[in-house]
């Protein structure tokens, strides 16, 4: 692959933006099975990058270089832009017609929007957000029982009240709760990472509200939970796990999931995704385009068709923009997650149920606990 002058300048600038020095770029080259010492000596980074690019051009591994740089710096916008412009990732770029550009050969004259209202999803930001969720969602373990939770601040995890009910009521020792991050299948689809265990703080329980007796009954639009019966618990971890990087080569804080910044109205038949640990399995997700069934009369419950299982309780519920819009808490009313045995085959439910995140935010705000979203204990 021969780069045009513009492409050479753009890729050179992107590599400079995404790498600190000679050794940092050398780590990226190892991903492409190359050794920087075989290409050029240490020196000013712009000169090193020029030598690397010229070497890559002559040996036709520019695409491998870009792929390795993207893997080393998945959130770097400049590198993503270069990869799209060179046709190495989808992005909808305009291509010159002179046949000399290294941009991807496009067939725009054959391509048309089928559904203009749907448009496109930006691949770079979407993938980056999903990578963040992978390290922010966790399993919440009380001995043989488990649910799901997720970071909402440096040291705060949101889950369901019923997931940690035994510890709240005293039948399980709170110090024995384990919050497990990074428990997921690896890229080969066969290997499972056991993840890392994080212990609760001594003052582990920040706040909670119970579920409702209504949650155990078949749905009746006239029979509503009380506005504080939101089945949530905010627990504090011993470590500020959200500020520390997860295991891996990138020194980037794990971070946390922030709620949507306004009351979400859950449009009928709109998209819902649930990221979860069903039956204490490695991290999984399910999403449905026409998921939303209804919101109940006082805005304390939302019903959707997305799959969950026992163990999914406490999962983040996301909309099509990957905004946090609800906390998953049960299966179809009358068959709640916390009462079902964790078996792989159950009678299919008509829908599952979550707690709108705005209701939880309002309840916490009424107690001067809004800091739990993104803040540290005052």
Mean pLDDT estimate for the chain: 85
Number of residues assigned to the chain: 378
Q: What residue ranges do the domains of the chain occupy?
A: 5-110, 126-370
Q: How far is CA 19 from the centre of its chain?
A: 25
Averaged pLDDT for residues 283-289: 93
Averaged pLDDT for residues 54-59: 88
**CA atoms of 277 and 288, how far apart (whole Å):** 17
- The top-scoring range by mean pLDDT among 118-122, 246-250, 338-342 is 246-250
Q: Is the pTM of this model over 0.85?
A: no
pLDDT band at 128 (very low <50, low <70, confident <90, very high): confident
**CA atoms of 41 and 37, how far apart (whole Å):** 6
**CA atoms of 98 and 336, how far apart (whole Å):** 62
Helix axes 62-72, 77-85, angle to 10 degrees: 150
Q: Give the ranges where 152-239 is alpha helix by DSSP (H).
A: 165-169
Average the pLDDT over each of 1-10, 32-41, 297-306 and give the range with the smallest value: 1-10
- Please give the pLDDT value at position 337: 53
What's the pLDDT tens digit per position in 152-203? 999 999 999 999 999 999 999 999 999 999 999 887 788 889 999 999 999 9
- Please give the pLDDT value at position 102: 35
Helix (H) or strand (E) holding 329: strand 324-330
What's the pLDDT tens digit per position in 92-120? 334 344 433 433 332 233 345 555 556 66
DSSP at 2: P
pLDDT band at 85 (very low <50, low <70, confident <90, very high): low
**pLDDT over 80 (residue 50):** yes
Fold of 126-370: Thrombin, subunit H (2.40.10)
**CA atoms of 55 and 244, how far apart (whole Å):** 37
Averaged pLDDT for residues 323-350: 72
Token code pair at residue 196: 């890392």
Strand partners, 302: 295, 354
- Please give the pLDDT value at position 106: 26
% of residues, the chain, pLDDT over 70: 85
Averaged pLDDT for residues 26-49: 92
Kindly write down the DSSP assignment for every residue of 214-264, as one continuous string: GGGS---TT----TT---EEEEEESS-GGGSPPSSS-------PPBPSS--
Averaged pLDDT for residues 48-77: 86
């Amino acid at each position: 692959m021969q780069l045009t002058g513009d492409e050479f300048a753009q890729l050179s600038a992107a590599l400079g933006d995404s790498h600190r020095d000679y050794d940092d770029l050398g780590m990226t080259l190892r991903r492409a099975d190359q050794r920087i010492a075989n290409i050029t000596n240490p020196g000013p980074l712009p000169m090193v990058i020029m030598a690397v690019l010229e070497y890559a051009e002559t040996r036709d591994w520019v695409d491998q270089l870009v792929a390795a740089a993207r893997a080393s710096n998945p959130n770097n916008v400049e590198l993503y832009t270069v990869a799209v412009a060179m046709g190495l990732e989808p992005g909808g770029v305009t291509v010159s017609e002179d046949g000399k550009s290294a941009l991807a050969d496009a067939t725009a004259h054959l391509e048309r929007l089928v559904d203009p209202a749907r448009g496109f999803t930006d691949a770079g930001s979407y993938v980056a957000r999903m990578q963040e969720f992978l390290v922010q969602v966790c399993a919440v373990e009380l001995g043989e029982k488990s649910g799901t939770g997720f970071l909402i601040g440096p040291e705060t995890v949101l889950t369901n009240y019923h997931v940690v009910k035994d510890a709240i009521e005293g039948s399980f020792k709170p110090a024995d709760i384990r919050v497990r991050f990074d428990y997921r299948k690896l890229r080969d689809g066969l290997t499972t990472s056991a993840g890392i265990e994080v212990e609760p703080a001594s003052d582990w329980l920040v706040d909670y509200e119970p579920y409702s007796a209504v949650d155990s009954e078949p749905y009746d639009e006239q029979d509503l939970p009380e506005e504080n019966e939101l089945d949530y618990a905010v627990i504090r971890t011993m470590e500020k796990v959200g500020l520390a990087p997860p295991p891996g080569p990138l020194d980037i804080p794990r971070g946390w999931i922030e709620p949507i910044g306004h009351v979400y109205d859950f449009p009928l038949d709109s998209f819902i995704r649930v990221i979860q640990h069903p039956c204490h399995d490695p991290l999984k997700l399910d999403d449905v385009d026409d998921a939303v069934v209804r919101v109940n009369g006082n805005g304390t419950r939302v019903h959707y068709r997305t799959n969950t299982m026992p163990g999914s309780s406490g999962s983040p519920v996301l909309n099509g923009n990957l905004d946090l819009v609800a906390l998953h808490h049960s299966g179809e009313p009358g068959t709640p997650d916390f009462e079902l045995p964790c078996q792989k085959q159950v009678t299919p439910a008509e829908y599952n149920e979550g707690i709108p995140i705005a209701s939880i935010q309002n309840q916490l705000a009424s107690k001067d606990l809004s800091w739990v979203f993104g803040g540290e204990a005052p």
